[in-house]
Amino acid sequence: MLVVTNTIKVKEGHGAALAERFGGSNGVQEMPGFVRMEVWHSAAKDGAEELKISTVWENEEAFSGWTASPAFRESHRGAGRNEAILGASLDKYELLLSRRPGE
């Protein structure tokens, strides 16, 4: 299992609007090996908010298939021109342990 987290820092007041973009049909949900997506939003701090977009994949190859796909390019078109975005970083994590209630 692989979790990829895209942390996007935005100007205060713009987080919820940007988060809506991830709720539409952008093709990721149809990709082989895609498990789920979660969008997390932080409260404003020092004039900025953060979104954490976490996608869970069966493996690295599945994620690479997404980033090489036409759907990925289409869904990210124009993202660099959004003046509300202050910065972004991408991190990958391999799942080593998972617990559920009662386990």
Domain at 64, CATH number? 3.30.70.100
Whether residue 101 lies inside any domain: the answer is no
Whether residue 102 lies inside any domain: the answer is no
How are strands ordered across the β-sheet holding 85-94?
34-41, 48-57, 2-11, 85-94
Whether residue 25 lies inside any domain: the answer is yes
Instruction: Give the CA distances from residue 62 to residues 52, 55, 70, 74, in Å, rounded to whole numbers and listed in that order.
Output: 20, 11, 14, 18
> Quick one: pLDDT band at residue 80, thresholds 50, 70, 90?
low
Tally of domains within the chain: 1
Whether residue 43 lies inside any domain: the answer is yes
User: What is the chain's length?
Assistant: 103
| Whether pLDDT at 79 is above 70 | no
pLDDT for the residue numbered 78: 64
Higher-scoring residue by pLDDT: 96, 82: 96
Whether residue 85 lies inside any domain: the answer is yes
Whether residue 103 lies inside any domain: the answer is no
Domain of 90, in residue numbers: 2-94
The residues facing 2 across adjacent strands are 57, 94
- pTM: predicted TM-score of the whole model, two decimal places: 0.86
| Whether pLDDT at 93 is above 80 | yes
